[in-house]
C-alpha cells in the first residue's frame, strides 16, 4: 500500500477508535489510551519504510526519551490547571515540553541507561502530580469527583473529526520533515502529546480542572507502555526487521498497559 494512503487511513482510524473508547469510559481512560503510541507508532513505521531501519532505530530511541518531555508537559499543565484557565496551562505545558526536548537533544547515553532514566522520571512525575480530585477553585474535592467511567457532557459534534484531522496532519508534517530534522530530533518531537493536549483542554473547558488532571494522570500511567514500545523497537528493528520488531513492541505495550489500567482502577 502506498505510504501516503497508509498515513491517511491508519492514523485517523486509530485516533477515532481511541476517542470513542475514551468517551465511553471517562477521562482517566482517555488519558490512559494516549499511552498507546497512536501517532508515534505510525510515524515510526513510516520512517522505517521511507528512511530505513537505522534511521528508525535512532528515531525510536529519541521518541522513548521524549516520554520525559510528555511528563514535563503533564506536570506543567496539571499544577496550573487548578489555578489558571486552559490557555495559560496549555502554553506553559508546551514550553515545558520544548525545554525538555532541547535538553534531551544534548543527552547521549546508551539505550538501556536511557530507558532506566525514562522509567525513573515517569515514577517521579506520577508521585508529584496533583491529586485528581480538584474542584474549580483549586481545592480538593470529595473522593470520586473524577471517577473512572464518570458520566460526562457530550463533546461538540465536530470534536472527533477535528482530532482525526489534526493528528493526521501532524503525522504527515513530521514524517515529511524527517530527512531535514534528522533521526534524533524527529524522534524527540514525535511524542508531543498532541492527542493528550486535546483531551486535557476539552476536559478542562467542559468539566473543570479535575477532569483535565484525571486525563493527565492516565497519560502518565500509559507512558510506561509508550517507553517500552520504543525501547523494544530501537533495540530490535535493525537486527530482527520491521515486522518482528513492531510485533514484539506491540506485545510488550499491551502487557504493560493492562497493568497500568489495573493500577489506575485500584487508585
Per-residue pLDDT tens, the chain, 267 aa: give them.
445 555 566 666 766 666 676 667 665 666 666 667 777 787 788 888 888 889 889 889 988 998 999 999 999 999 998 888 889 999 999 999 989 988 888 888 899 999 999 999 999 999 999 876 544 444 444 333 333 334 445 556 666 677 677 767 766 776 677 667 776 677 677 677 777 787 788 778 877 888 888 888 888 888 888 899 999 999 999 988 989 999 999 898 888 888 777 776 665
* pTM more than 0.85: no
Name the domain count of the chain.
Answer: 1
Do the domain assignments include residue 14? yes
Do the domain assignments include residue 253? yes
Chain-centre distance for alpha carbon 70: 7
Question: What is the domain extent for residue 31?
Answer: 3-135+159-266
Do the domain assignments include residue 148? no
Q: Which residues are CB-neighbours of 105 under 8 A, at least 6 positions away?
A: 184, 185, 188
Q: How many CA atoms lie within 13 A of 53 on its CB side?
A: 14
Do the domain assignments include residue 154? no
Do the domain assignments include residue 106? yes
Amino acid at each position: 500500500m502506498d505510504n501516503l494512503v497508509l498515513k491517511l487511513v491508519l492514523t485517523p482510524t486509530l485516533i477515532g477508535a481511541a476517542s470513542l473508547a475514551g468517551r465511553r469510559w471517562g477521562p482517566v481512560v482517555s488519558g490512559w489510551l494516549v499511552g498507546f503510541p497512536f501517532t508515534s507508532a505510525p510515524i515510526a513505521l513510516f520512517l522505517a519504510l521511507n528512511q530505513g531501519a537505522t534511521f528508525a532505530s535512532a528515531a525510536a530511541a529519541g521518541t522513548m526519551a521524549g516520554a520525559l518531555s510528555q511528563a514535563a508537559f503533564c506536570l506543567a499543565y496539571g499544577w496550573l490547571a487548578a489555578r489558571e484557565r486552559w490557555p495559560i496551562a496549555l502554553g506553559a505545558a508546551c514550553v515545558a515540553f520544548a525545554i525538555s526536548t532541547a535538553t534531551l537533544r544534548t543527552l547521549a547515553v546508551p539505550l538501556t541507561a536511557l530507558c532506566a532514566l525514562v522509567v525513573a522520571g515517569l515514577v517521579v512525575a506520577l508521585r508529584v502530580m496533583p491529586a485528581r480530585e480538584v474542584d474549580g477553585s483549586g481545592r480538593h474535592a470529595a473522593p470520586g469527583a473524577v471517577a473512572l467511567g464518570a458520566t460526562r457532557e457530550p463533546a461538540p459534534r465536530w470534536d472527533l473529526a477535528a482530532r482525526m484531522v489534526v493528528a493526521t496532519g501532524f503525522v504527515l508534517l513530521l514524517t515529511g520533515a524527517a530527512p531535514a530534522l534528522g533521526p534524533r530530533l524527529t524522534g524527540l518531537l514525535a511524542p508531543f502529546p498532541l492527542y493528550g493536549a486535546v483531551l486535557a483542554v476539552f476536559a478542562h473547558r467542559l468539566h473543570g480542572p479535575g477532569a483535565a488532571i484525571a486525563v493527565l494522570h492516565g497519560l502518565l500511567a500509559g507512558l510506561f507502555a509508550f517507553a517500552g514500545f520504543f525501547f523494544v523497537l530501537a533495540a530490535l528493528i535493525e537486527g530482527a526487521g520491521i515486522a518482528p520488531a513492531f510485533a514484539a513492541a506491540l506485545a510488550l505495550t499491551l502487557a504493560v498497559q493492562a497493568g497500568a489500567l489495573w493500577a489506575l482502577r485500584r487508585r
